[in-house]
Amino acid sequence: MLNVAIAGLGWWGKFILKALEGNTKLSVVKAVDVNPAAGDAARAMGIGFTTRFDDVLADPEVRGVILCTPHLRHADQVVRSAAARKHVFCEKPLALTRADAERAIAACNANGVVLGIGHERRFEPPMVELQRLARSGELGTLLQVEANFSQDKFLTLPADNWRLSSIDAPAGPMTATGVHLLDLSVSLLGPADHVLANVRQLGNNHLSNGDTLGAFVVFKSGANALISAILATPFDGRLAVYGTDGWAEVRDNAHPETPEGWVLTKRRKGGRPERSEYAPTHPVRENLEAFADAAAGGAPYPVPQGQMLDNIAALEAILESAASGKIERVGS
């Protein structure tokens, strides 16, 4: 059992708090948020609450920290948690720059703690199968990824919420949902080389950091990823990978917060489309349990640190391109 603290009790922090209730691998023993009123959710479940992050780091009962805080704070909080010898699970994105991601990873490695990342899409059963198809060579040489992750959940947020801030959440759709698709693209295609991105506020005046994103990512292999993320339309989610010998597509039936299962369609060269339906699971919880297993000395955490770094390097270039309107190279 890994005793953990949750830092940040906003929408997603509360979701994780509930998701871990009664879990046999992780036990939430403390929560922290700068807003005192956020403590009501923790206290209702008999969990200690504080408004000081230092209290969590100083608590010997806490062996791991789950960060559900604004993106801009992630790297510093990972470094501080690692220095306090706490395992760290960080919600996406790990950082907003490659340099900060390098700093966070180095701190965890130097202090011998596990670093987990909130890319639960990797743990969805059809996505696991899509990855197997790609890695086994059944799809041939991979040519292109096409992906979309859109929603309208942020339309009800108050105007001062950090998720609507161009500082804490630049290029809003990209850091909200697009980064998941970028992570999956990196896992399939490797490190990116250069990008071109466009972010605009088109559908709603409320979303001042943008509501519509299109990103074109060219990888060092020569393959492409076409990424779409919108925050002003009802939910849609799909990821397709195309190869010389076939293609495969995963479609979500509902938002990952309340999964209703998935549909995987694949087509091999010379064949007909094959459709498989997958029942809902809880990939958020499975990701956290994989983190707990690694912290306990079991199987290594399944998201390689090199891919964590490649993802943030590409994200940084996308944020730069969204601001400049130009093609931006990915730092190495």
Q: In sequence order, what DSSP letters do the residues of 1-32 get, joined into one string?
A: -EEEEEE--SHHHHHHHHHTTT-SSEEEEEEE
- Within 8 A by CB and 6+ apart from 251, the residues are 237, 238, 262, 263, 265
pLDDT score recorded for residue 205: 81
Q: Which residue type sits at 159?
A: A
Nearest-angstrom CA–CA distance, 57 and 39:
18
Domain check: are 262 and 218 in the same one? yes
* Domain-ending residue, one of 118, 152, 186: 118
The whole-angstrom separation of Cα 133 and Cα 218 is 22
Looking at the structure of the chain, the number of domains it has is 2
Q: Which residue, 92, 118, 144, sits at the end of a domain?
A: 118
In a shared domain, residues 14 and 51 = yes
Same domain for 233 and 302, yes or no, is yes
pLDDT value of position 257: 86
With DSSP H G I counted as helix, E B as strand and the rest as coil, what are the percentages for the chain, rounded to 5? Answer: 35, 25, 35
Query: 292 and 154 share a domain?
Result: yes
User: For position 138, what pLDDT does the model report?
Assistant: 97
Q: Are residues 127 and 58 in the same domain?
A: no
Assess whether 194 and 268 both reside in one domain.
yes
The CATH number that applies at residue 71 is 3.40.50.720
Query: Is the pLDDT reported for residue 154 higher than 80?
Result: yes
Structure tokens at 170: 């630049």
Q: What is the predicted pLDDT for the residue at 332?
A: 58
| 169 and 50 within one domain | no
Do 200 and 292 lie in one domain? The reply is yes
Residues 232 and 132 in one domain: yes
**Domain final residue pick, 69, 96, 118:** 118
Q: What percent of the chain has pLDDT over 70?
A: 100
Split at pLDDT 50, 70, 90, the class of 159 is confident
Kindly report the CATH number assigned to the domain that includes residue 270.
Answer: 3.30.360.10
Residues 183 and 264 in one domain: yes
Q: 132 phi and psi, to 5 degrees?
A: -65, -45
Residue ranges making up the domain that contains 179: 121-329
Q: Quick: pLDDT tens for 165-192.
A: 999 999 999 999 999 999 999 999 999 9
pLDDT at position 17, please? Answer: 95
Q: What is d(CA 237, CA 253) in angstroms, rounded to the nearest whole number?
A: 8
Tally DSSP H helices, then E strands, for the chain: 10, 15
Residue 252's contacts (CB-CB under 8 Å, 6 or more residues apart) are 235, 236, 237, 238, 259, 262
Residue in this structure with the two tokens 């209290």, named with its chain if needed: 55
pLDDT at 256: 87
Over the stretch 251-284, which tens digit does the pLDDT of each residue have? 999 998 888 999 999 999 999 999 999 999 999 9
In 3D space, the residue among 190, 187, 209, 186 whose CA is nearest the CA of residue 199 turns out to be 209
The answer on 322 and 265 residing in a single domain is: yes
d(C-alpha 256, C-alpha 237), whole Å: 9
- Based on the fold, state whether residues 308 and 160 are members of the same structural domain: yes
Q: What are the pLDDT digits (tens) for 11-59?
A: 999 999 999 999 999 999 999 999 999 999 999 999 999 999 999 999 9
Choose among 54, 49, 10: nearest CA to 28: 49
Q: In the prediction, which pLDDT does 183 show?
A: 98
pLDDT band at 206 (very low <50, low <70, confident <90, very high): confident
What are the tokens at 263? 């549909």
